[in-house]
Amino acid sequence: MTHRPTSDEIRQTFLDFFDELGHTIVPSASLVPQDDPTLLFTNAGMNQFKDVFLGIGTRPYTRAADTQKCMRVAGKHNDLDDVGRDGTHHTLFEMLGNWSFGDYYKQEAITWAWMLLTDVYGLEKERLWVTVFEDDKGDLGRDEEAATHWKQKTSIDRNHVLYFGRKDNFWEMGDTGPCGPCSEIHYDRGPEACDMQNVPGHVCEVNGPCARFTEIWNLVFIQYNNLGEGHLAPLPAQHVDTGLGFERLVAILQGVDSNYRSDLFWPLIEQTQSMANQSDEEREANLTAYRVIADHVRACTFLIGDGVLPANDGRGYVLRMVLRRAVRFGRRLGFTQPFMAELAQLVIEKMGHVFPELPQRADFIEATITAEEERFLRTLDQGLTRLEEIMGELQVRGKTEIPGKDVFFLHDTLGLPFEVTRDIAEEHGFTVDEAGYRHAREEQRARARAAGEFALEADEHGRLYPQLLDYVREQQALESLRHDPYGPLQLQARVVGLIQADALVEKAGEEETVEVALDRTNFYVEAGGQVSDTGRLYGPDWEIEVAEMKRPIEGLPLHVGKVVAGTPRIGDPVRAEVNTGRRWDIMRNHTATHLLHRALRQVLGSHIAQAGSLVAPDRLRFDYNYERPITPEQQEEIERLVTEAVLANYPVSSRQERYREALEQGVIALFGEKYGDEVRVLRVGPAESPYSQELCGGTHVSRTGDIGAFLITSESGIGAGIRRIEAVTGRGALAAAQALRAREEQAASLLETIRENVPQRVLRLLEELRAAHKEIDQLNRKLARESFEALLDAVQEINDVPFLAAQVEAPEMDTMREMADWFRDKLGDSIIVLGAVIDGKPRFIAATTKALTRRGVHAGQLVKQVAQVVGGGGGGRPDMAQAGGQDAEKIEEALAQAQKAAEAMLR
């Protein structure tokens, strides 16, 4: 490039270069990671391709390039403290990158990077240095492949190729997963850029401590999968992942010594100067403040543009903190009124053509910034004054560390973020007790948790929900959210709050889980045993499927669901539709629960009290105190009483009443429930003589006839003195009765009879079975006797010695041993070999007499030879031995072998 290029040109040149090399230019991903809950902000270009590297996602292209907006506020890469104090650290930055997904590899990545930097951008070759991986652990050796490409495929000075170890030149996604060596390109700013010239013995070097060499581009070659504990397996597909620091590149190409002097930041600094009405000298004297403001206003603009709203936790806290930090530095330039929105306008103007979400959201971004500034300005003076008092007191006592509890007080009560307090403390030569601050913060969270109801789900989200309520009150100017689950099941409302990925957002992404606050809702939130409603929210061009409801804090009913179409935004009108069929099932079960309660008291006694309940669409569950199971007669009586109340078609009504007066009228209140002064009384039956009256916040049918059928499906004990009844109504009762009939029909068909005859048929079958068993026993005994006699016929003689080898029926080895003894007794000096199949395996026993063992017969050796035929082995005494094998089918063959063995022994 011949003229001094603008940042827009530098960015476009990069994208054009890779476009021509067949790369798909993709848009920057959101700063809020879409699928990665482990990541606070997108912090590298590769974040959006993580699934591809992990092998669980694919893209329709194999080459990609982009500029990615990134945010870093903590960690080794960026300490917020450095932002503004030097020329190279930023919270928000752009990273240019090119990727190969199993496509090109080291040679192309290296030669193209070299070509772009030298031929296209025109950097001097002498100023470029590269580093290549050499394993200092010795496991992987040197990346000679990359080194060779650098030395042979580019015109770099061969002495400028250096080797570094794991810390500098090996990239890992995490403890496991894709990883590989990398090759970094460094730029030599010249000896004058060294900021350690006065340090004795200092030598400027790549990866050294001074500012002379700057890393500008990292080429990562993903070739291994780390399986854990350092075991690296080669990946089937090798990838390239590169990251080129845009702000640094722009500063180098524009020939300025600080990123802030480049056209990415300088216009913001000039604008700030003109708004503060300061001279150039004043500007240079306050340069840190100018730099912090320029950096932070970019971060605020982009964060809000991606839907992050100021909050006291998570992403919202980061936004609040950088915004307040900028405002505090603005105070040092004399700003006492909101000024950030005007600077945000300039950011949007300059960056809008690259990041179109900024101009689309311009009004929202500016309004959010100004509202947060105003909120902070209300307490800023108080906070600053209090901090000065604290420092004054410490000084008197000769101390320089501000206690953690004071820092927390400033944060929690006066809205002074920890980082701002630390800035100011450092400016006055004080330090802050960070550990003490964190401890105080944790203690407060623990207290909030201990407060019970208040922090039902606030554990993880901390103060996210209170923030949302604040937002609804302040930004949406609503006193409270109206919750009326007793009214119509369809309702017109408005979206007043959205939470996605643990942050307040202004719009919700498709296919994502979202929590929605409406200015009014008809959805029931789980309480008193009745489950939450489900349903749908229809916006102008979007739809949310509501899967559950929750009320994390009082006064904040939230619809939790998935965006199935479009992009819901705050302010959108919405039609809220409760799932009607499901809700009716729930209402039938709830009213029936009250009838069941009443019937139980009538049948079992008025001491019966409810110990818990569940009212779901498919069933109701009622737990109560009682010592014994109910009898079948009691169960029928209870069902009959409930059914009579249904058939009476009693009206069901509710009324707000004073708690005491309700109790005086005999209304049933539940144990363990807290009631306010005003309570809702649910009555079934005429008001003057109600059939049932209970305190209840649930939803009910309007007449008991709506319940339809009622059936108890189970009764059981669930603990000492607590019984549980489950029952069904309406459609559930029909389904239960039909299932019962189907089972009876199935039994009848299996028994080849009609349903009415099933019990008699079963009784007859049982009798037949008993008779059959008796007959089988008799036959078995007879069979044993006969086969025993038959076996005697099979006795042969070998050299005048009786020999029997036979297969017998025997349930176990003991039986075989007894049989062998019996034969031996009967035959005198003889050889007996019996085989049987026991548990599917062949078993053998061999027996002879002492006299024959003296003639050379050995039962152990005999049975061993037999067992070999069936793939087994065994042994034992010379006169009695046993063996087993595998192949039951060869049992006959094995017994034939017994004869040969016996003949050999008697020869």
- Binding-site ranges for Zn ion (CB under 5 A): 194, 196, 204, 210, 212, 696, 698
Which long-range CB contacts under 8 A does 815-818 form with residues at least 24 apart? 816/843, 816/845, 816/882, 817/845, 817/880, 817/882
Q: How many CA atoms lie within 13 A of 7 on its CB side?
A: 26
What is the closest distance, in whole angstroms, from the C-beta atom of residue 578 to Zn ion in the complex?
18
Pick 197 or 395: Cβ nearer Zn ion? 197
Tokens representing 367 are 């309004």
The distance in angstroms from the start CA to the end CA of the chain is: 110
Pick 57 or 190: Cβ nearer Zn ion? 190
Distance CA(55)–CA(237), nearest Å, equals 9
What is the closest distance, in whole angstroms, from the C-beta atom of residue 705 to Zn ion in the complex?
19
What is the closest distance, in whole angstroms, from the C-beta atom of residue 707 to Zn ion in the complex?
14
Task: Name the DSSP letter for residue 23.
Answer: -
What is the closest distance, in whole angstroms, from the C-beta atom of residue 610 to Zn ion in the complex?
9
Pick 192 or 677: Cβ nearer Zn ion? 192
Strand locations in 579-686 (E): 610-615, 620-625, 652-658, 678-684
Q: How many CA atoms lie within 13 A of 121 on its CB side?
A: 30
Pick from 424, 329, 355, 334: which is nearest to 385 by CA?
Answer: 424
What is the closest distance, in whole angstroms, from the C-beta atom of residue 209 to Zn ion in the complex?
8
Pick 203 or 720: Cβ nearer Zn ion? 203
* CA triple 440-444-445, angle to 5 deg: 120
Pick 272 or 692: Cβ nearer Zn ion? 692
Provide the residue type at 592 as one letter. A
- Within 10 Å of residue 466's Cβ, how many Cβ atoms? 20
Pick 196 or 287: Cβ nearer Zn ion? 196
Provide the residue type at 150 as one letter. W
Provide the residue type at 194 as one letter. C
What is the closest distance, in whole angstroms, from the C-beta atom of residue 527 to Zn ion in the complex?
10
What is the closest distance, in whole angstroms, from the C-beta atom of residue 212 to Zn ion in the complex?
5
What is the closest distance, in whole angstroms, from the C-beta atom of residue 531 to Zn ion in the complex?
13
Pick 210 or 614: Cβ nearer Zn ion? 210
- Facing residues of 213 across strands? 188
Distance CA(544)–CA(566), nearest Å, equals 9
Pick 490 or 665: Cβ nearer Zn ion? 665
What is the closest distance, in whole angstroms, from the C-beta atom of residue 697 to Zn ion in the complex?
7
What is the closest distance, in whole angstroms, from the C-beta atom of residue 526 to Zn ion in the complex?
13
Contact 411, 444 (CB under 8 A): no
Distance CA(290)–CA(392), nearest Å, equals 28
Rg (CA), the chain: 42
Residue 126 main-chain phi, psi, to 5 deg: -65, -20
Pick from 371, 377, 386, 373: which is nearest to 424 by CA?
Answer: 386
Pick 365 or 646: Cβ nearer Zn ion? 646
Contact 404, 433 (CB under 8 A): yes
Pick 196 or 837: Cβ nearer Zn ion? 196
Pick 194 or 833: Cβ nearer Zn ion? 194
Distance CA(543)–CA(346), nearest Å, equals 35
Q: Is 750 strand, coil or helix?
A: helix
Pick 675 or 788: Cβ nearer Zn ion? 675
Torsion angle in degrees (nearest 10) through CA of 297, 298, 302, 305: 50
Distance CA(749)–CA(776), nearest Å, equals 28
What is the closest distance, in whole angstroms, from the C-beta atom of residue 386 to Zn ion in the complex?
44
What is the closest distance, in whole angstroms, from the C-beta atom of residue 202 to Zn ion in the complex?
6
